[in-house]
Structure 1
């Protein structure tokens, strides 16, 4: 059973309940003072506690998407997969599975849309990454047959699982609802983890001597998706949104590559890359490279790019609140001085660094992002 499957969560919960009941039932029989009775009581308590912790842990992992598989959990997933496409010469997107989703009105693609599970091959970065591509219902309707759609790259945090974007934050479901209500134009969503070289957290960097994650996301991915699906090829057709690490990646890639993305949303983002045991040395000892990936430094020392940005935080519960206010104020000053960069913010009164907070922010963020992308 997979780490995120419903079956394993159910098994863990049932085991915890049965062990708890067995402990209560057998406790009078284990009330003696002998070594055997004491060891039996200790064993029953430990087994019950471990089963309860396991059940809570598995449920939390399924809800918040910390780890996607057993190998991901234990750190044995070390190498990215390499896929060679033999289907169509020159194609960089290989569809490995399709998923029908149910919305109001049914599950037919022309009503609910469709989710393709794909592998995207990056010839420049030499990275191949898995993704889920949500195609809105309009993609399958005759009146849209010749239309090129806008697209948004949707990123999880680290470590994160792509499935959490569908089952937890419900990006396709939110997009479908917004389009139906007339608050968002039909948009293709490319949903991914920012981690393309697991278990390493590359912070969407081109690591010196290491994975070229930034190149994959800003050069390889938009080109590959635009060639395979009816998606616009210009920066005005593309946006990027992410939470936590994915939020930092979104802001950074739009600011550093305005030719790839014209709009970006950072939900609870950081504003510079950390250096810790999960990242290793991202900058190869280069202070210049470290500065250029610091978003505050970029606002002070680099020309402001012609992009629209949205950042979110909360006054109570988020550690990035003060940095978010600083970032917003810096961009506002640049904007007042005539620079082309634009900033919007979403500040909650309370909300922690978790899925419950991001669920509250995703609908408004998608509406904002959709209004800034062009289908032409």
Structure 2
């Protein structure tokens, strides 16, 4: 039974109800001396309260998608604190699905089915030596004859902390949302790639290269693009690549694009923040400065041509304020805008509601499929440069305030 399934939640709620009834029914019926009766009552209460806490924790996990499976919860998915052996070639999934890779190339990855049309592969980064999972969704056009000579734009998807890349295809349902938008010709046919981001258990890496630790920055900005470009018909130019994340992944998306504009052209932060909060980073002044997008942008003599969409809820602490303060640091050719919702906290329901607008924005700020026969060329997308202070309002209701998470 899946950790996030409705059946599991219903089961533990039913257990809680039964235990509550038993406590009431047996309270005055426990036999034996006084000490035994009191001990029995205490045991029933403790068991009842433990199950009540479990119900609350499962509800919180289902709401905020901290862990998508039992393996994620128990750390048995092979991607926590796992460094690949030096000199090893990437180890990949067991079953190769043919016809995906560029013509005349040998795929760096092999894929197994995950669910629906999503594929999964496990790889070791050639440079970072980190072992991680990649969940890949290919648009319907990828398999159509009319697109066989096309390379596709890519969105790299980052989870929160704690969190799992599976959340993108679970609670957020990004593949179904994008599929519908593609069918109505509102978005490009993007390749979606959700990747492992967390390598230090419950401690956040901050998507940085930690001295004597996981090289998360290298994995996300170098290894993942290399693996995808050498396995699928993915366009290699930065203008065809975007990065999007929620919460800690939103911070990482902005941090990565500011540090690696030659890899990504556009980024979306869903309820992210501006300053690193990883314990590996905040206590290291050099790392903190190097991984503060606001400071990096402020100190640049000339900012790169990047596009940012910073989304937040007016009821989610400082997410909107942080977005506006970061946009105030942009100067041409860097540009960006905000997406705001009036209601909702820091959870997957809010981020799922933001996704259609975010995907449409990415289409305007990321180049579409490109012919591969003549070589993939960098073609700027036909988008306009909005004002730094322009905002995309996803809701118009009057705002209210609340303390951030």
TM-score normalised by L of structure 1: 0.84
**1:80 paired residue number:** 82
The change in CA–CA distance for 1:330 and 1:8 in structure 2 (over 3 A counts) is: same
| 1:194 Cα offset (Å) | 1.9
Does residue 98 of the first structure (1) align with residue 113 of the second (2)? yes
Does residue 373 of the first structure (1) align with residue 366 of the second (2)? yes
1:231-242 equivalences under 5 Å are 231-242=234-245
Give, in whole Å, the separation in 2 of the partners of 1:219 and 1:317. Answer: 32
**2:392 paired residue number:** none
Give, in whole Å, the separation in 2 of the partners of 1:7 and 1:350. Answer: 29
Of stretches 348-357 and 6-15 in structure 1, the one that deviates more from structure 2 is 6-15
**1:343 paired residue number:** 336
The change in CA–CA distance for 1:48 and 1:288 in structure 2 (over 3 A counts) is: closer
Give, in whole Å, the separation in 2 of the partners of 1:346 and 1:31. Answer: 63
**2:44 paired residue number:** 44
8 Å contact from structure 1 (residues 166, 172) kept in 2: yes
8 Å contact from structure 2 (residues 238, 262) kept in 1: yes
The change in CA–CA distance for 1:362 and 1:40 in structure 2 (over 3 A counts) is: same
**1:110 paired residue number:** none
Does residue 359 of the first structure (1) align with residue 352 of the second (2)? yes
The change in CA–CA distance for 1:196 and 1:369 in structure 2 (over 3 A counts) is: farther
| 1:357 Cα offset (Å) | 1.6
Does residue 67 of the first structure (1) align with residue 67 of the second (2)? yes
Does residue 298 of the first structure (1) align with residue 296 of the second (2)? yes
| 1:48 Cα offset (Å) | 1.6
| 1:58 Cα offset (Å) | 2.1
| 1:132 Cα offset (Å) | 0.6
Per the alignment, in what secondary structure is the counterpart of residue 154 of structure 1?
strand
Give, in whole Å, the separation in 1 of the partners of 2:93 and 2:164. Answer: 27
8 Å contact from structure 1 (residues 151, 239) kept in 2: yes
The change in CA–CA distance for 1:211 and 1:6 in structure 2 (over 3 A counts) is: same
Per the alignment, in what secondary structure is the counterpart of residue 206 of structure 2?
coil
Query: What does the per-residue CA deviation read over 1:332-351, in whole Å, with 9 as the maximum and x for residues that have no partner?
Result: xx2xxxx2001010122232
Give, in whole Å, the separation in 1 of the partners of 2:142 and 2:48. Answer: 51
Of stretches 288-297 and 161-170 in structure 1, the one that deviates more from structure 2 is 288-297
Give, in whole Å, the separation in 1 of the partners of 2:8 and 2:193. Answer: 28
Does residue 12 of the first structure (1) align with residue 17 of the second (2)? no
**1:282 paired residue number:** 281
1:136-147 equivalences under 5 Å are 136-147=139-150
**1:24 paired residue number:** 24
- 5+ long unaligned stretches in structure 1: 102-113
Of stretches 199-208 and 232-241 in structure 1, the one that deviates more from structure 2 is 199-208
Give, in whole Å, the separation in 2 of the partners of 1:174 and 1:271. Answer: 28
8 Å contact from structure 2 (residues 172, 352) kept in 1: yes
Give, in whole Å, the separation in 1 of the partners of 2:106 and 2:200. Answer: 24
Per the alignment, in what secondary structure is the counterpart of residue 234 of structure 2?
coil
The change in CA–CA distance for 1:275 and 1:254 in structure 2 (over 3 A counts) is: closer
| 1:54 Cα offset (Å) | 0.9
Per the alignment, in what secondary structure is the counterpart of residue 282 of structure 1?
helix
| 1:158 Cα offset (Å) | 0.5
Query: What does the per-residue CA deviation read over 1:251-271, in whole Å, with 9 as the maximum and x for residues that have no partner?
Result: 111111111000000111111
Per the alignment, in what secondary structure is the counterpart of residue 208 of structure 2?
coil
> Which residue, out of 170, 178, 182, partners 1:179?
182
| 1:199 Cα offset (Å) | 4.4
CA root-mean-square deviation? 2.7
Give, in whole Å, the separation in 2 of the partners of 1:117 and 1:189. Answer: 12
The change in CA–CA distance for 1:367 and 1:33 in structure 2 (over 3 A counts) is: farther
The change in CA–CA distance for 1:32 and 1:347 in structure 2 (over 3 A counts) is: farther
Does residue 255 of the first structure (1) align with residue 286 of the second (2)? no
Per the alignment, in what secondary structure is the counterpart of residue 241 of structure 1?
strand
Query: What does the per-residue CA deviation read over 1:277-334, in whole Å, with 9 as the maximum and x for residues that have no partner?
Result: xxxx33784x343212111111211131101000012223323332222112222xx2
| 1:6 Cα offset (Å) | 5.6
| 1:147 Cα offset (Å) | 1.6
TM-score normalised by L of structure 2: 0.79
Give, in whole Å, the separation in 2 of the partners of 1:37 and 1:283. Answer: 53
**1:128 paired residue number:** 131
8 Å contact from structure 1 (residues 80, 197) kept in 2: no
Give, in whole Å, the separation in 1 of the partners of 2:43 and 2:93. Answer: 55
8 Å contact from structure 1 (residues 150, 237) kept in 2: yes
| 1:190 Cα offset (Å) | 0.2
